[in-house]
């Protein structure tokens, strides 16, 4: 393995053994697919969709593109629930485990494709009996129990557009989503488990629906998970199990509705640049094709695989790679209810060993948090079943990559670093692991049919190797179709910056091998003395220091240099003292790692960083703290509000 100046962290080609069994073999295999998609995208996607998806009726056109509005598989009829269930239940996969569930307290459920089909049909019949039908909208507010997937698939079966609201969101956030969507039903639980405690959900639903502020809601269906006491409002609330018990014997089947390919499958709310979350709209046929194809390309899925994506289904990663992608591709998808550190720091490794997990897909934040606890936790478990690792959600710093590769993958497992967004539906830049040599920290090459470009402020392509805004020049099947109820915002947000192209909001660089390096959100890029500097680059440098656990970096307004680098740093256990000495050392460390212009103005030590519940560091809040010492706007996605209070308090003392 050689380390050149261009690739400071080395290049990792797939092992011959991995290539031999891969769906896409060698770089020529990748290039062939890419070329075909580039030359004739409609023929390419038409072929993929015919091979991998069941259609009740075929399309008249693969793509109708009237920028910025795309219609994929025009005139075709299909059903996502049918593709995830019926076709597998009628195949050799009938008795294969579809969902392998582990609850936080330790229970297990093994649900076969046939059984999952039965559960989904029964719940679809429940919804039908309540008068719900295609075109209606539902809100699903549940913990990570199999019935969350059952509810999604039952809605998809009938054409009810669902919006899953992550169980960690507050009643206020829930209310805003119910209102924006005009939903007629809320499907929820009494509660779920997180770090040994019950997270109550039904009381939050009651609060959101209080005082008649959500008049569109006619029904609340409650699945019993914890058995704790909840109040049920008569005429509005029903228990899932009671509705189920009242079904006739014939309810074990419910036909999947033949839906238009462009029927709205789901809306998922995500934070935008304003305080109001955006309802990202995904449709049926294109989304299904995209997530199914990437299961095979990027996860190199085998029928014998146990596939585990540790994301919560409340986020897009969970929609696409816990539920729809794996089930459509006929995989066994593992679903875990709880926290990675409960009851101990080895819970993830224990789950992998116990269920002989083959593919593990998680976030850099989770990896770094577990690195901090030490190698003894993974080393106590047999991780030899793993053959592929994945990363998603943020750039992975080379130090975390190396640890994941060595300590978890034992140097045997490729790591697929997958770049995509809620808006893209599925992966867009990611390696095919049997084809594309890896470079730690790079998402590598675009998926077939994806034409990225990197442009400057005026929308012109930058010189090769330079940083710029990542845009996408062509539509892809899983792409966002609209912002629910706000087409103007959809156009303005994504399509006006570079005419005809999709604006990702990310900065990136493409190296001379065509590899993409994502540098983070555009608003996370600092400008220090006219030098462009990514917050991530500085963070990556900081976490290489042996005492640093995590770092978040923001630009602080500076009279002379425009912006100055301000770092929030958490230290590994046992290094809490010596702040002053260490502050100097870290400033020098960064200057040494990147260059003198990057030398931080300020290092602030903190016990924890403010994060969204999906683990993204909320740099916007840190920016506000360093520039004004106040915090405003929507903080409903913060994992721990006390973190903010501490950071601000510490600043006051300075
Ligand atoms: C899947 C997801 C999207 C934003 C995106 C990026 C960042 C995601 C990577 C990444 C570097 C990656 N959807 N991002 N994946 N950055 N490398 N592999 O996370 O809508 O919640 O976030 O996340 O900034 O724009 S998301």
Quote the pLDDT of residue 413. Answer: 98
3-state secondary structure of 651: helix
Q: Which residues contact 475 (CB under 8 A, 6 or more apart)?
A: 63, 65, 70, 72, 502
With 0-12 / 13-18 / 19 or more C-beta atoms within 10 angstroms meaning exposed / middle / buried, residue 402 is middle
Whether residue 68 has a cis bond before it, omega within 30° of 0: yes
d(CA 650, CA 454): 40
pLDDT tens sequence across 482-517: 999 999 999 998 999 999 999 998 889 999 999 999
Residues having CB closer than 6 A to ligand 1 are 270, 316-317, 392-395, 417-422, 443, 504-506, 518, 520-521
Element (H, E) at 491: helix 487-495
Token pair belonging to 327: 């089930």
Quote the pLDDT of residue 636. Answer: 54
**Domain covering 103-278: architecture:** 3-Layer(aba) Sandwich (3.40)
Closest ligand 1 atom to the C-alpha of 423?
A: 20
Task: Find where tokens 């916007």 sit.
Answer: 620
Long-range contacts of 99-102 (CB under 8 A, 24+ apart): 99/146, 99/149, 99/332, 99/333, 99/335, 100/306, 100/332, 100/333, 100/334, 100/335, 100/355, 101/145, 101/146, 101/334, 101/335, 101/336, 101/337, 102/334, 102/335, 102/336, 102/337, 102/351, 102/355
Quote the pLDDT of residue 72. Answer: 98
Contact between 479 and 423 (Cβ < 8 Å): yes
d(CA 515, CA 343): 40
Quote the pLDDT of residue 33. Answer: 98
165 CA → ligand 1 middle, Å? 19
Record the pTM: 0.86
**CATH 3.30.300.30, applies to 543-653:** yes
3-state secondary structure of 486: coil
317 CA → ligand 1 middle, Å? 10
Mutate to test the pocket of ligand 1, among 324, 365, 418, 420 (most ligand atoms within 8 A of CB): 420
pLDDT tens sequence across 40-82: 999 999 999 999 999 999 999 999 999 999 999 999 999 999 9
Break the chain into its structural domains and give their ranges.
103-278, 543-653
611 secondary structure, DSSP code: B
What is the number of other CB atoms lying within 10 angstroms of the CB of residue 87? 16
Positions of the chain with pLDDT under 70? 1-5, 271-276, 523-525, 527, 529-532, 562, 576-577, 629-654
Nearest CA to ligand 1 atom 12: 419
Mutate to test the pocket of ligand 1, among 394, 430, 524, 615 (most ligand atoms within 8 A of CB): 394
Q: Is 543-653 in the same CATH topology as 103-278?
A: no
Element (H, E) at 541: helix 535-544
């Amino acid at each position: 393995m050689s380390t050149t100046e261009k690739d400071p962290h080395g290049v990792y080609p797939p092992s011959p053994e991995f290539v031999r069994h891969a769906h896409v073999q060698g770089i020529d295999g990748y290039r062939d697919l890419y070329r075909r998609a580039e030359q004739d995208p409609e023929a390419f996607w038409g072929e993929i969709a015919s091979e991998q998806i069941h259609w009740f009726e075929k399309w008249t056109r693969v793509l109708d593109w009237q920028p910025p509005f795309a219609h994929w598989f025009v005139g075709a009829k299909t059903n996502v629930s049918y593709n995830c269930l019926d076709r597998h239940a009628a195949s050799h996969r009938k008795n294969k485990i579809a969902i392998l569930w582990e609850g936080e307290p330790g229970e297990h459920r093994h649900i076969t494709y046939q059984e999952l089909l039965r559960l989904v049909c029964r719940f679809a019949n429940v919804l039908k009996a309540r008068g719900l039908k295609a075109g209606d909208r539902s809100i699903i507010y549940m913990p990570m129990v199999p019935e969350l997937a059952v509810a999604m698939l039952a809605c998809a079966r009938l054409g009810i557009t669902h919006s899953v609201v992550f169980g960690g969101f507050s009643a206020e956030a829930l209310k805003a989503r119910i209102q924006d969507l005009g939903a007629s039903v809320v499907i929820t639980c009494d509660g779920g488990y997180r770090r040994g405690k019950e997270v109550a959900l039904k009381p939050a639903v009651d609060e959101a629906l209080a005082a008649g502020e959500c008049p569109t809601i006619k029904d609340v269906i409650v699945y019993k998970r914890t058995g704790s006491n909840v109040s049920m409002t008569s005429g509005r609330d029903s228990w899932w199990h009671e509705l189920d018990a009242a079904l006739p014997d014939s309810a074990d089947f419910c036909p999947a509705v033949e839906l238009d390919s462009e029927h709205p499958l789901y809306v998922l709310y995500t934070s935008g640049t304003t305080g109001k979350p955006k309802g990202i709209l995904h449709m049926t046929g294109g989304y299904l094709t995209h997530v199914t194809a990437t299961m095979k390309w990027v996860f190199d899925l085998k029928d014998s695989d146990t596939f585990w994506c540790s994301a919560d289904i409340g986020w897009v990663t969970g929609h696409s790679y816990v539920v729809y992608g794996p089930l459509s591709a006929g995989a066994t998808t593992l679903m875990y209810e709880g926290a990675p550190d409960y009851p101990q720091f080895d819970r993830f490794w224990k789950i992998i060993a116990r269920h002989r997990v083959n593919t593990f897909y998680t976030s850099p934040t989770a990896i770094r948090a577990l690195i901090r606890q030490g190698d003894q936790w993974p080393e106590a478990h047999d991780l030899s079943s793993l053959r592929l690792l994945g990363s998603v959600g943020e750039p992975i710093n080379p130090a975390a990559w190396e640890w994941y590769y060595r300590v978890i993958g034992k140097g045997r497992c490729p790591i697929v670093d997958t770049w995509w967004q809620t808006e893209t539906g599925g992966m867009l830049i990611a390696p095919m692991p049997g084809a594309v040599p890896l470079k730690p920290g790079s998402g590598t090459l675009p998926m077939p049919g994806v034409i990225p470009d990197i442009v400057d402020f005026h929308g012109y392509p930058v010189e090769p190797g330079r940083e710029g805004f990542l845009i996408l020049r062509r539509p892809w099947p899983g792409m966002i179709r609209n912002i629910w109820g706000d087409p103007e915002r959809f156009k303005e947000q994504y399509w006006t910056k570079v005419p005809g192209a999709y604006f990702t909001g990310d900065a990136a660089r493409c190296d001379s091998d065509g590899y993409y390096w994502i540098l983070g959100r555009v608003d996370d890029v600092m400008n220090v003395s006219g030098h462009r500097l990514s917050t991530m680059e500085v963070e990556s440098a900081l976490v290489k220091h042996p005492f640093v656990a995590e770092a978040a970096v923001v630009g602080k307004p500076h009279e002379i240099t425009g912006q100055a680098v301000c770092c929030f740093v958490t230290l590994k256990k046992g290094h809490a003292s010596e702040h002053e000495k260490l502050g100097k050392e870290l400033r020098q460390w960064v200057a040494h790692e990147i260059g003198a212009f990057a030398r931080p103005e300020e290092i602030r030590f903190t016990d924890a960083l403010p994060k969204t519940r999906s683990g993204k560091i909320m740099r916007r809040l840190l920016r506000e703290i360093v520039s004004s010492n106040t915090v405003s706007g929507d903080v409903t996605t913060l994992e721990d509000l006390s973190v903010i209070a501490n950071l601000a308090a510490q600043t006051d003392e300075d």
